[in-house]
C-alpha cells in the first residue's frame, strides 16, 4: 500500500476510534451539517466539507469496512498512476464534490438533513478513476459474485446510485454524494488532460 493511501486509511480508523470515545463532540463538530438547516441540528462550518469524509457512523461499522476496503483496493493503483500529491488533490476534490452535490440536493428537496459522514465520495472518485485508467481490469461484484470489466462495473454502479437517489431508496444513504464525488473526479481528470494537451502544443 502506498503512503498517501495508507495515511488516509489510518486517519479514518483513528477518527472512528475517537467517535467511539466522544461521539457527540466529534460528530457535532466534524460531520457535515446542512447550512441553514433545522435549529435542532448543529451548525454548518466550512471545515466540515473535508472532515466529514473521515467520520463513519459508530453504530454502522459495515460502512467503514466497505469504504476502507475500497480505499485499499483502488487507492494504491491511482496513487501510483497520479503520484502522491496529485492523488491527494484528486481525492479531496472528489470529497468536496460529494459534499456540495448532497447539500444542493438537500436544499432542492427542502431537507434539513442529518449529519453526513463517510469516505464514500472520495472512494467513488477513486472508483471512477480506476475504471477510466484500467477499463479492462476485472472487478468482482460481492452479491452476486460476477466478474466484469472495470468500465462496466463503474457504469452500472453509477446508474444504480442515480436510480436509488432519484427514487429515494435506501433512506439515510447519500447517493448524490457518491455521484458528486465521481463527477468531481471526472471533471478534474478532464481538466488535467486538457491542460496537459495545451502544454504539448
Give the per-residue pLDDT at 184. 96
Tell me whether residue 163 is exposed, middle or buried, using C-beta atoms within 10 angstroms of its C-beta: 0 to 12, 13 to 18, 19 or more.
Answer: exposed
pLDDT at 104 exceeding the cut of 80: yes
Give the per-residue pLDDT at 93. 98
Least confident of 20-34, 159-173, 183-197: 159-173
HEC profile of 23-80: HHHHHHHHCECCCCCCCCCCCCCCCHHHHHHHCCCCCCHHHHHHHHHHHHHHHHHHHH
pLDDT confidence bin for 39, thresholds 50/70/90: low
Query: What share of the chain in percent tops pLDDT 90?
Result: 51
**pLDDT higher for 198 or 185?**
185
What integer best gives the mean pLDDT of the chain? 86
pLDDT at 102 exceeding the cut of 60: yes
Give the per-residue pLDDT at 144. 64
How far apart CA 74 and CA 27 sit, in angstroms, is: 27
> What's the rounded mean pLDDT across residues 32-60?
83
> What's the rounded mean pLDDT across residues 195-200?
68
pLDDT at 87 exceeding the cut of 90: yes
Strands (E), 107-159: 138-140, 147-149
pLDDT confidence bin for 88, thresholds 50/70/90: very high
Give the per-residue pLDDT at 169. 60
pLDDT confidence bin for 123, thresholds 50/70/90: very high
Output phi, psi for 7, to 5 deg: -65, -40
Domains contained in the chain, CATH given: 3-200 (1.20.1540.10)
Amino acid at each position: 500500500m502506498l503512503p498517501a493511501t495508507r495515511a488516509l486509511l489510518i486517519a479514518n480508523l483513528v477518527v472512528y476510534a475517537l467517535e467511539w470515545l466522544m461521539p457527540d463532540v466529534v460528530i457535532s463538530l466534524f460531520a457535515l451539517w446542512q447550512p441553514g438547516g433545522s435549529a435542532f441540528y448543529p451548525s454548518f462550518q466550512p471545515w466540515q466539507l473535508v472532515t466529514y469524509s473521515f467520520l463513519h457512523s459508530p453504530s454502522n461499522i459495515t460502512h467503514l469496512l466497505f469504504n476502507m476496503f475500497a480505499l485499499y483496493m483502488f487507492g494504491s493503483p491511482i496513487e501510483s498512476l497520479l503520484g502522491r500529491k496529485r492523488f491527494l488533490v484528486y481525492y479531496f476534490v472528489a470529497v468536496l464534490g460529494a459534499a456540495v452535490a448532497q447539500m444542493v440536493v438537500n436544499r432542492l428537496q427542502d431537507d434539513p438533513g442529518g449529519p453526513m459522514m463517510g469516505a464514500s465520495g472520495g472512494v467513488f472518485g477513486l472508483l471512477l478513476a480506476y475504471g477510466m485508467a484500467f477499463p479492462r481490469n476485472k472487478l468482482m461484484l460481492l452479491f452476486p459474485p460476477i466478474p466484469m470489466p472495470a468500465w462496466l462495473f463503474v457504469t452500472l454502479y453509477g446508474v444504480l446510485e442515480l436510480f436509488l437517489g432519484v427514487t429515494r431508496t435506501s433512506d439515510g444513504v447519500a447517493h448524490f454524494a457518491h455521484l458528486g464525488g465521481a463527477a468531481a473526479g471526472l471533471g478534474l481528470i478532464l481538466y488535467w488532460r486538457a491542460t496537459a494537451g495545451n502544454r504539448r502544443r
